[in-house]
Amino acid sequence: MQQIIAQQPGGVLAILTILLVLIFLSAWKAPRWVRPIGSIALGSCVLFLLFDTMIALSDIWKAGDISISVLGGGLKLMTFTLIYGFIIYFISHIISFIQKPGH
């Protein structure tokens, strides 16, 4: 797991971690913002995934033949960001549900 995290672009994980911290801070100070920040985290993950896919496909097109193991490793790295975004999204919904059980 540490190898996957070490290979991720630092900016993407930093942005997502900042959004996670904002979720916890907003749960304490501004509970109405918990769910929208989680949605922003999920949307930015999808955006980062699409951007990374575009770059990867461009590089594959330039290189020509690429081994399936290299392609699989790249897909594994790209999906880690998406999984992290879904975890942040679910955390925001759980916090929002705990704060307002009627909704």
Q: What is the 3-state secondary structure (H, E, C) of the chain?
A: CHHHHHHCCHHHHHHHHHHHHHHHHHHHHCHHHHHHHHHHHHHHHHHHHHHHHHHHHHHHHHHCCCCHHHHHHHHHHHHHHHHHHHHHHHHHHHHHHHHCCCC
Under the banding of pLDDT at 50, 70 and 90, the label for residue 95 is: very high
In a domain, residue 5? The reply is no
5, 11, 25, 54, 66 from 33: Cα distances, Å: 28, 23, 10, 31, 44
**1, pLDDT greater than 80:** no
Average pLDDT over residues 46-67: 85
**102, pLDDT greater than 60:** no
- Number of structural domains the chain divides into: 1
Q: What is the pLDDT of residues 47-57, one digit of tens each?
A: 888 888 888 88
Average pLDDT over residues 29-33: 90
In a domain, residue 30? The reply is yes
Q: What is the pTM of this model?
A: 0.81
Give the structural domain span for 14.
10-98
In a domain, residue 81? The reply is yes
